[in-house]
Amino acid sequence: MAKPPIGGNRTGRKLGQKVKKGKLKASSRRWLERHINDPYVQRAKLEGYRARAAFKLLEIDEKHQILKGAHRVIDLGAAPGSWSQIAAKVTDSTDDDIRVAAIDFLEMAQLPGVKILQLDFLDPDAPRQLIEAVGGTPNLVLSDMAAPTTGHQKTDHLRTMHLCEVAAHFAVEVLAEGGHFLAKTFQGGTEKDLLNMLKLNFRQVLHIKPASSRQESVEMFLLAKGFKGRKGGVITAAVDEDGFARDPREDIPAEEDQD
């Protein structure tokens, strides 16, 4: 994947543009200046993606190959839809053969080959609707969900981490064997119990901070690769006598988390 241009961009727009003071608050003006001067934002417009987040997924995939061989994809917290755009392309999803299901409580413009549900993922009926919408067993579950901010940092953090945990349990309930799970998390914020559960059910679990994620952002991504399947049932907790996560089907310690 080509890197974003430095010092300029292929749209011809110069970086370093200033926004006139006008009636904007100083904080709003700084955000807007950062946004319009962000090379990933400009590149997303050039390449037809709905958001700069597209490059986070593409960058992660370049190293970890999670899109390779993806047949059906579920996209949680999908708005405005850049990850679903990529998923529809790699799965050859069409309106006549839907292979991508996206959900968000925010309204989303329609995308070719994507079934969009405007619904809160925490709605009890959301999992069933997603499985019906995707038309089969997914082998990739993506989650870019983040809770609406309250202004209280600890509360916002806990609410978003809860969404990550719910998404992870959904993934192990629906994924095909060998499938992958990718979710937004925060630096230092992934709960030990969640990591243990993922290690028990996937062959590899790691945290990733893609270069396309803004440096000042505390977001990271939690990637669980190679779902072990449900032959013996989904494992949600198991520890050995020393308190380490253990998979009773294999009777070996779970893999160490790889940062």
Tell me the three-class secondary structure of 96-133, residue by residue: CECCEEEEECCCCCCCCCEEEEECCCCCCCHHHHHHHH
Which of the listed ranges 26-30, 206-210, 225-229 does the model predict with the highest average pLDDT? 225-229
Per-residue pLDDT for 28 more than 70? no
Per-residue pLDDT for 130 more than 60? yes
- DSSP for residue 253: E
* % of the chain with per-residue pLDDT over 70: 70
Per-residue pLDDT for 141 more than 60? yes
**CATH of segment(s) 53-253:** 3.40.50.150
Q: Which residue has the higher pLDDT, 234 or 247?
A: 234
Catalytic residue among 184, 199, 225, 228: 184
* Mean pLDDT value across the chain: 79
What integer pLDDT is reported at residue 45 of this predicted model? 85
Cα separation, 146 vs 166, in Å, equals 12
pTM over the 0.85 mark: no
Q: Which residue has the tokens 């994809």?
A: 73
- 184 among known catalytic residues: yes
What integer pLDDT is reported at residue 108 of this predicted model? 96
What integer pLDDT is reported at residue 232 of this predicted model? 60
All residues at 6 or more sequence positions from 86 whose CB lies less than 8 Å from its CB, including other chains: 49, 54, 57, 58, 67
Per-residue pLDDT for 26 more than 80? no
State the span(s) of the chain assigned CATH 3.40.50.150. 53-253
Angle at alpha carbon of residue 219, lines to 215 and 221, rounded to 5°? 115
What integer pLDDT is reported at residue 42 of this predicted model? 74
Q: What is the pLDDT of residues 42-78, one digit of tens each?
A: 786 888 888 889 999 999 999 999 999 999 999 999 9
What integer pLDDT is reported at residue 91 of this predicted model? 98
What integer pLDDT is reported at residue 213 of this predicted model? 72
What integer pLDDT is reported at residue 218 of this predicted model? 75
**Mean pLDDT of the 209-238 span:** 78
What integer pLDDT is reported at residue 184 of this predicted model? 92
Q: What is the 3-state secondary structure (H, E, C) of 187-243?
A: CCCCCHHHHHHHHHHEEEEEEECCCCCCCCCCEEEEEEEEECCCCCCCCCCCECCCC
- DSSP for residue 161: H
